[in-house]
Amino acid sequence: MAHARDSSKAVASPSVLARLRRWVIILAVIACGWVLLLYLLQDGLIFPRGVAGFGPRASTISGTTIITLPRGDGTNIRAAYLPPARRANNAATVAATADAPARYPAAIWFHGNAERIENLANLEHVLFYHDLGYALLMPEYRGFGMADGTPSQAGILEDNIALHAWLVRQPEVDPTRIVYHGLSLGGGVAIDLARTHPPAALILESTFTSIIDHARRFLIPGPVARLIVRHPFDNLAAIGALKMPMLIVHGVQDQVTPISHARAIRDAAPHARYAEFDADHFTLARHAPAITALIAQTLADAGMPVDPAALLPAAGAPQEGAGRPVTPAAPSPATAAPSPAPALAPRRGQSPGRRSPGRAVHRFPRGEAAPVAHA
């Protein structure tokens, strides 16, 4: 009887091992299939050009022109360009002479991956630069909207280098006073260009650490992600070498790019201004008054002309959602605006002399986290 029981165990053991081996093979096949699927779909996930663009039509702003630059392969680079508002004469950083026009600062706006330059979600932030009297360049990513080609990190960088060269040749642009503003994927695009063509200031809005870190959310281990990701946008590795005045803003409820990404970038760039807001990836623009005030402070850090009124929301303006008056603090010496400064033009649809109600701006030393601004 004992011998029979021992034989039964001996027979059962290989059966269990065979079942385990079968499950291991099945799971390995599923895992490999998942990795292969993401490898094949990554271009569409990073650059969803087929669904991009449902915001206001930025390219229809009066005075905007579409820039077309030829590539060597017969395709074209395209961007929207809005010259500086000449009415804001005090914005000029180089005065006009008999032989040359005045020169103005410029902003390059890099949009998110679900946008096109025809349709920008954060139009309030885009027009803020034009209201300051800056020239405004909005590159289109290759393969998006009116731009030819197939999108890639290397190809977009190549296009932006060509557009940057075009911008600094414009007689009305001061090539030493250019700010980059990147939203979401545009933050990675801006950082890429900043590595070889440093701006005077860098604004990062809802920006991620790297595509490899994003891949981990799809259950792809880091070593595997490094092998399969074709467009890494390794912002975390690059940010520490960028020493220009910088602003990082992010929503604590961001479900697309978690707040941990922004905090990691902040830790790698301790000189940067940093602020978190009670918003997600798609509602951060509701905090435009506070964010544009922080942008103005960062531009002032870079010695770029700003309107002193842009450094803070209007005194006495109601704090959104609270009904309490805002008592802004006096600007610190580090954020005082240079002179001369232009007057802000009223927003579209806003009467002269009236500013949009804003929330309190939390002042903090550069490199220190700001409190969350609650809605």
List CB contacts of 261: < 8 A, sequence separation 6 or more. 207, 208, 209, 213, 250
- Beta strand 273-277 with 201-205 is unpaired
pLDDT at res. 73: 86
47-335 belongs to which homologous superfamily? Alpha/Beta hydrolase fold, catalytic domain (3.40.50.1820)
If the chain, 375 residues long, is cut into consecutive pieces of 10 residues, what is the mean pLDDT of each piece?
52 74 81 73 77 53 86 91 74 74 93 83 79 93 90 95 98 96 96 98 97 76 73 94 97 95 96 96 91 94 84 42 28 36 33 32 35 37
29: Cα separation from own chain's centroid: 37
Q: What is the pLDDT of residue 168?
A: 97
What pLDDT is recorded for position 87?
A: 56
CA distance 290 to 275: 10
Q: Tell me how far apart the alpha carbons of residues 91 and 104 are, in angstroms, rounded to a whole number.
A: 6
Helix, coil or strand: residue 232? coil
Q: How far apart are CA 115 and CA 54, in angstroms?
A: 7
| Residue 355 pLDDT | 33
Helix pair angle (288-301, 123-131), 10° resolution? 40
